[in-house]
Amino acid sequence: MSLIHAKLRYSTVAGIAAVLTTHLTAFSQALPPVPIAPGGPLHAPGEVLVQFRNTVTQAEANEVFRRGGLGLLKHIRTPAMADRGHIGVVRALTALPVPVAVQLLNQLPGVEFAEPNWVATRQAESNDPFYADPLSPGPLWGMFGDDLSSPIGPAGSTTIYGTQAEKAWAAGFTGSSEVLVGIVDGGLQLDHPDLAANIWTNPDEIPGNGIDDDGNGYVDDVHGWNAYDNNGDVRHVDDVTDTHGTHVAGTIGAVGGNGLGVAGVNWNVKLVAGKMFGAGYYSDAIEAIDYLTSLKTRKGLDVVVVNHSWGGSSFSQALLDAFNRAAQAGILSVASAGNEAADTDASPRYPTGFDTTPVAGYDAIVSVAAISRQGGKSSFSNYGRHSVDLGAPGGERVNVNDPSLRDPDYEIVSTVPPSSYGYKRGTSMAAPHVTGAIALYAAAYPQASAEQIRYDLLVTGVRPLAGLQGVTVTGGTLDIWTMVDPNYAPPSLPTKPTAPSNLTATALSIGKGASLSWLDRSANESGFTIERRTTSTSPWLIVATVNPNTTKYTDATAARRTSYTYRVRAINVAGSSTYSNAVTVKTK
């Protein structure tokens, strides 16, 4: 396709949208989210995201806007999208009920997909003193070590359930200011005394002049990008409702050894804000992720990992596309598993339920459950034998039946505004321990690829934990010391298995489900995962994981007289293969 043709398409889509904007002038950013159905997941009121096909014509786009009753809010075409030849995503208001609009739009020529603008939520229930005095209320227990072989750290800073970060510090692993970590969250207190030295500053941008000085597509992005307000102001809004991002930042990278408050996993690191709260719209998450991706692809900065202490229950192809772009750039994404005490194999959450393998060639997403100071899976934490990778300190409720009771000794202490320290619990607090570990590893082994780092994390950076056996992929919790210890030679990255092929599905007799068979084309798989869904827009659910060398499976859980689409992939410790062909069958 010619560049001229491409430009014509972009201008055509944007132009039609601009004309139709006059039909709907209300802007929903300030309105509260609404459920898609009673008790269902939340979305931005009256909003849809539309991805046009590359081959869309002006007539088709015009018809989409007319029949969908659409008015343009924003044509999202980030630099990261442009670099991949992506025509962008249209964020629009619709005059129709959102479920009706989505169903209609997905049937129209020229549309790749349409979906609600879903809403995510944050995953917290809402000579550094907290480390040097481990007997104080609510110490920095998530950083403690087991003191095996020889005591390390202040007296009392001992637990086998900490991340063993203090062992890494004692050996000289404290991070690097060359490593950048993205935080997609709310605002940050940029001048917090325990964070300010580790906040990234764009050296090529002049603050407040209203000019994109470095030509990266973002005006005044001095410390990051605010996707919610579409500007470079990533400061926290207030000291009461916007503390979550600052707390996450402290666990990853509060300055260590400065005699103040807490120490992050990394004493030296650069933290970059990608602000999506506000409202937590998926559209804002997409722009925040793409901003961080473009820092690596356009400015050549070493963005190693992005922390996502948030999630939603609704699948979004547009959001997955953003994670795919980050993965293709060699950026890992660490995501909190969620706080519903749910099995996410059966009830997926996102982004933890995403897999970037089909596009990037490896899975760049790491999903994290929470553990308590006593070493159990936190009562609120989500879990999943196939969808949650490992655990990390996230705190616990004093009384599992009464979330209102709080005790600092049970929770995670970190930085909060205004220039203070506070306690939170949740998988939101577990994820940044893992994000910090990845950044610390990247500082120690700067030549390691994203794929190698993820593999080493899940193979050498985990210690077994009884409470996580059978409910996470690794069956263990984060061990930073074994991940970075040079005596634990990073294992060679094995070859991922080859995808199965020739998948077929046959309906069995009434009430017996469906029979699947496939060709095993791999010699090194540890098993196969079997997934299904009922519609082209519903999420894929893992039905089962079967042993290596298996080539048949009967899905006895399939409902009667229902059409299912199935796919299969091979897995091993290196990750997963691409998927087999997909097949559809209607049960009897």
pLDDT of residue 142: 86
Assess contact for 284 and 227: CB atoms under 8 A. Answer: yes
Query: Any idea which of 353-367, 454-468, 480-494, 558-572 has the lowest mean pLDDT?
Result: 480-494
| pTM for the model | 0.88
Q: Which amino acid is at 509?
A: S
pLDDT digits (tens, 9 = 90+) for 311-342: 999 999 999 999 999 999 999 999 999 999 99
> Distance (Å, rounded) from C-alpha 282 to C-alpha 74?
13
Q: Is the pLDDT of residue 533 over 60?
A: yes
Q: Is the pLDDT of residue 29 over 60?
A: no
Beta strand ranges found along 221-292 (DSSP E)? 224-226, 268-275
3 state SS for 501-546? EEEEEEECCCCCCEEEEEECCCCCCCEEEEEEECCCCCCCEEEEEE
Kindly indicate the confidence band of residue 302, based on its pLDDT and cuts at 50, 70 and 90. Answer: very high
Kindly indicate the confidence band of residue 487, based on its pLDDT and cuts at 50, 70 and 90. Answer: confident
pLDDT of residue 227: 97
Kindly indicate the confidence band of residue 410, based on its pLDDT and cuts at 50, 70 and 90. Answer: confident
Burial of 333 (0-12, 13-18, 19+ CB in 10 A): buried
Kindly indicate the confidence band of residue 18, based on its pLDDT and cuts at 50, 70 and 90. Answer: very low
Kindly indicate the confidence band of residue 540, based on its pLDDT and cuts at 50, 70 and 90. Answer: confident
| Between 21 and 124, the higher pLDDT residue | 124
> Distance (Å, rounded) from C-alpha 377 to C-alpha 586?
39
pLDDT of residue 573: 78
Query: Any idea which of 86-95, 211-220, 400-409, 556-565 has the lowest mean pLDDT?
Result: 400-409
pLDDT digits (tens, 9 = 90+) for 101-141: 999 999 999 999 999 999 999 876 445 556 545 445 457 87
Closest to 265 in 3D by CA, of 39, 497, 429: 429
pLDDT digits (tens, 9 = 90+) for 133-189: 544 545 787 887 776 666 666 655 667 788 999 999 999 999 999 999 999 999 999
Closest to 198 in 3D by CA, of 131, 261, 252, 144: 252
